[in-house]
A and B are shown apart, each in its own frame.
Chain A
Amino acid sequence: MEYLPTAGLLPTSARSLAPLRLWQPASIADALVCLQQCEEPVLLAGGTDLVAQFNEGLAPRALIDISRIEALREMRHDDGVLQIGALVTHHRGCSDAHMCSRVPGFARAWSRIANPRIRSRGTLGGNLMARRTRYEGALLLQALQAKLLFSSVAGNEQVGVHALWNGDLPRRALLTAIEVDANDLLAFDYERGLRPLMTQALSVWRQPQGLQLTLVLATEYLRPVTLTVFLAGLRLPQLVLRAGAIARDLMVGLPSSFADAQVTSDYVRRAGAALLVRQLESLHG
Chain B
Amino acid sequence: MVDAASPVGGRSECALRLTLNGAERNLTVPVERTAADLLRDDLRLTGTRIGCSRGVCGACVALVDGVPVATCSMFAFQLDGCSVQTIEGLDQDGQLHPVQQAFVDQGAFQCGYCTSGMVLLTKALLEQHPRPDRATICEWISSNVCRCTGYAQIIAAVEQAGARLAGEEST
Report if A and B associate in a common complex. Answer: yes
Q: How far is the CB of B111 from chain A (nearest CB, A)?
A: 16
Q: Does A117 lie within 8 Å of B70, measured CB to CB?
A: yes
Q: Does B69 lie within 8 Å of A34, measured CB to CB?
A: no
A18 on the B face (CB < 8 A)? yes
By the criterion of a CB under 8 Å from any partner CB, how many residues of chain A are at the interface?
A: 40
Nearest A-chain residue to B13, judged by Cβ = A22
Q: Does A23 lie within 8 Å of B10, measured CB to CB?
A: yes
A41-55 near B? 1/0 per residue, CB < 8 Å: 000100111111001
B69 in complex: contacting residue of A11, A50, A117, CB < 8 Å: A117
A22-58 near B? 1/0 per residue, CB < 8 Å: 1111100010011001110000100111111001000
Q: Does A21 lie within 8 Å of B55, measured CB to CB?
A: no
B11-45 near A? 1/0 per residue, CB < 8 Å: 11010000000000000001111101100110000
Q: List B contacts of A39 (CB < 8 A).
A: 1
Q: List B contacts of A37 (CB < 8 A).
A: 1-2, 6
Name which of B83-91, B135-143, B148-156 contacts chain A.
Answer: B135-143
Using known A-B contacts A19-B31, A22-B77, A63-B31, determine if residue A12 contacts B7 with beta carbons closer than 8 Å.
Answer: no
The residue in B8, B36, B139 that gathers the most chain A C-beta atoms within 10 A of its C-beta is: B8
Using known A-B contacts A47-B78, A51-B34, A52-B55, determine if residue A22 contacts B68 with beta carbons closer than 8 Å.
Answer: no
Q: List A contacts of B61 (CB < 8 A).
A: 117
B134 on the A face (CB < 8 A)? no
A-B pair number, CB within 8 angstroms: 123
B67 on the A face (CB < 8 A)? yes
Q: Does A21 lie within 8 Å of B11, measured CB to CB?
A: yes
Using known A-B contacts A23-B8, A115-B143, determine if residue A47 contacts B75 with beta carbons closer than 8 Å.
Answer: yes
A62 on the B face (CB < 8 A)? yes
B50 on the A face (CB < 8 A)? yes
CA distance A12 to B54 in the complex (A): 9
5 closest pairs, A vs B, by CB? A52-B54, A117-B143, A115-B143, A17-B32, A11-B50
A residues touching B (Cβ–Cβ < 8 Å)?
8, 10-13, 16-26, 30, 33-34, 37-39, 44, 47-52, 55, 62-63, 65, 67, 115-118, 120-121
